[in-house]
Amino acid sequence: MNSPPKTIQLRNGWTTQIYFECDDFLLADKPSGIPVHETKDPKRVDFTRLLQDHLQIPELRTVNRLDLGTSGIVLLGKNKSKNTELDLLLKKAEKTYLFICIGIPPWKEHRLECFLKEGNKQVNLVRSGGKKAITEFTILHSDQKENLSFGLAKILTGRRHQIRVMLSSLGFPILGDTLYGEKTKEEKRMYLHAFRFSFTDFLGQKQMVETEIPNDWKKRMVLLSRISLTN
């Protein structure tokens, strides 16, 4: 049984929770709206360096990347000697995201396999020349009045913008995603959250880290307060 998450107040008003920690790595909750790691602008604050400074871990490294608007579980390595092992742990881990999308899909479950190719600012579906991407989608709740749906996306490959591109291609873009969805700035965030991370640790033990539904999602889609994601 995992211990309760530890809440940490970072500089610049950011807050995070550490869900799992051992000698070699940790799993923490990145807020929406902050870069996960250092950008081209060295003066811009980022999640990894804020956590690095707070925990006083000079070699803290981002193993998996989340987009600026995406919140949720990030894997961070604590020493360079384990970089190769952590990359393999990430590759074998099972990663599931929560999302709110615009529209009501005609399906409850859908598996999408396609090829994605990197562009300058966005990723495109292509017939050839891209990398294979696979995601399994499950719709948990739909609100006809708001024309919104809430669901899970289990990624079987780790491509940039994978979930965002796929849902947009299906006609149900993620709420608040101005790159692949509506170009409005009305929403306060993009509603994509790295929710569950299941993995085998370096001792061979099966582990699963899971977050709550973010509180700001419950304010945006009121009926989410009644939904339990507990297995």
Catalytic positions are 67
- Beta carbons of 172 and 103 less than 8 angstroms apart: yes
Q: Which residues neighbour 158 within 8 Å (Cβ) at sequence distance 6 or greater? A: 64, 90, 91, 95
Residue 218 in contact with residue 191, Cβ under 8 Å? no
User: Cα separations (Å) of 15 from 18, 28, 50, 54, 216?
Assistant: 10, 10, 10, 11, 14
Tokens of 114: 């396609």
Reduced to 3 states (helix: H, G, I; strand: E, B; else coil), residue 185 is: coil
3-state helix, strand, coil in the chain (%, to 5): 20, 35, 45
Contact assessment for residue 131 and residue 159, using Cβ atoms and an 8 Å cutoff: yes
Q: Is 88 exposed, middle or buried (0-12, 13-18, 19+ CB in 10 A)?
A: exposed
Q: Give me the sign of the Cα torsion angle 175, 212, 135, 62.
A: positive
Which helix (DSSP H) or strand (DSSP E) does residue 103 occupy?
none
